Amino acid sequence: MNKNKKWMATPYFIWSIAFIIIPLCMVFYYGLTDKTGAFTLENIIAITTEEHWKALWLSLLLSTISTLLCILLAYPLAMILCNASINQDGFLVLIFILPMWMNFLLRTLAWQTLLEKTGVINSILSALHLPSLNIINTPYAIILGMVYNFLPFMVLPIYNSLSKIDRNVVNAARDLGANNVQTFTKVILPLSLPGVISGITMVFVPALTTFVISNLLGGSKILLIGNVIEQEFTQTNNWNLGSGLSIILMIFIIISIVISTITDKDGEGNSL
């Protein structure tokens, strides 16, 4: 039986070697060498130049804000989904997941059309004689795009962990005299924390690395670290620098994952 199981893992094993391990090694090889192939740390140190550092800082800032906004929006939503009656429940979740069946690029392009100066939202606003909304090509539009695109990745894990909470635990809290606020802060929140933590990782990491959202909704005026790396590969053809900066970005991603695992353990510890 055990042998059989190992054999079953072979396709995944081959897959991860071919498409994860080897590319990762290549990123490290390119990132730590120069054009002639000699070892150098220049591509890593390049992050300290003003334009790279600024792009990284802006990416960290925008993705942190987006992640926080996602939590604020997703938590109440997940609670509503969870408290809805069983029939409604499936339907509501379906409605929520429906937009994800559409291509990510198309949805972002749609936001571009909505937000444009003469776009849908502004046409409606001007028809109602309301002041126009000018956030396209600003960091606000990028945050909006990130929140919109990554919100489901926050809702679903929180929803999952909330729906796993045993009703009896909540009832017990009530029986022992806890009011609504106390039940929430002492019982529900700690028990749902693992969901929040995994939601944070699932939103923060793609938001930190995105270059499509900033390109489409930022009018290429706002350079995030993802844009810098993308341009080094496609336009300036400097794979070494692109890889070097990717390594830096990976460090930040690993840091964020480590932080979430540590807090995750704390969260579970408290709830016990």
Partner 1 sequence: MKKLMITALLVTISISSLMGCGKSNTPENGQVIVYNWGEYIDPDVITQFEEETGIKVVYDEFETNEIMYPKIEAGASDYDVICPSDYMIQKMIDNDLLSEINFDNIPNVKNIGDQYFQQSKEFDAENKYSIPYCWGTVGILYNKTMVTEPVDSWSILWDEQYKDNILMQDSVRDAFMVALKLNGYSMNTTNPHELQAAKDALIKQKPLVQAYVVDQVRDKMIGNEAALGVIYSGEAIYTQRENSNLEYVIPKEGTNVWIDSWVIPKDSKNKENAEAFINFMCREDIALKNFEYITYSTPNDAAHDLIEDEDIKNSPIAFPTLSDFEGLETFQYLGEDADEMYNQLWKEVKSE
List of residues contacting partner 1 (CB under 8 A): 50-52, 54-55, 116-118, 134, 137, 219-221, 223, 227-228, 231, 234-238
Q: Please state the closest distance from residue 27 (CB atom) to partner 1, in A.
A: 17
Nearer to partner 1, 231 or 263 (CB): 231
**Residue 99 in contact with residue 107, Cβ under 8 Å?**
yes
Can you say how many angstroms the Cα of residue 154 is from the centroid of all Cα atoms in its chain? 8
CB of 34 to partner 1, least distance (A): 13
Give the position of tokens 């793609």.
206
Q: Rounded to the nearest whole angstrom, what is the least distance from the CB of residue 259 to partner 1 in the complex?
A: 27
Q: Specify the residue, 49 or 85, whose C-beta has the smaller distance to partner 1.
A: 49
> Given the complex with partner 1, which of 55 and 188 has the nearer CB atom?
55
231 versus 271: smaller Cβ distance to partner 1: 231
Of residues 116 and 264, the one with the C-beta less far from partner 1: 116
Question: Between the CA of residue 252 and those of 108, 124, 187, 231, what are the distances in Å?
Answer: 26, 42, 32, 20
**Residue/partner pairs of 134-141 with CB below 8 Å, 24 or more apart:** 136/112, 136/217, 136/219, 137/217, 137/218, 137/219, 137/221, 137/222, 138/218, 138/222, 139/58, 139/62, 139/218, 139/222, 141/111, 141/115, 141/217, 141/218
CB 196 within 8 A of CB 124: no
Closer residue to partner 1 in complex, CB, 174/221 = 221
Three-state secondary-structure class, residue 158: helix
Q: Are residues 246 and 175 in contact, defined by beta-carbon separation less than 8 angstroms?
A: no
Angle CA 118–122–124, to nearest 5 = 120
In angstroms, give the least distance from the CB of 56 to partner 1: 10
CB nearer to partner 1: give 52 or 148. 52
Instruction: Name the minimum Å distance from CB 144 to partner 1.
Output: 16
Closest separation between CB of residue 120 and partner 1, Å? 12
Helix axes 225-234, 239-271, angle to 10 degrees: 150
We find the least distance from the C-beta atom of residue 222 to partner 1, in angstroms, to be 9
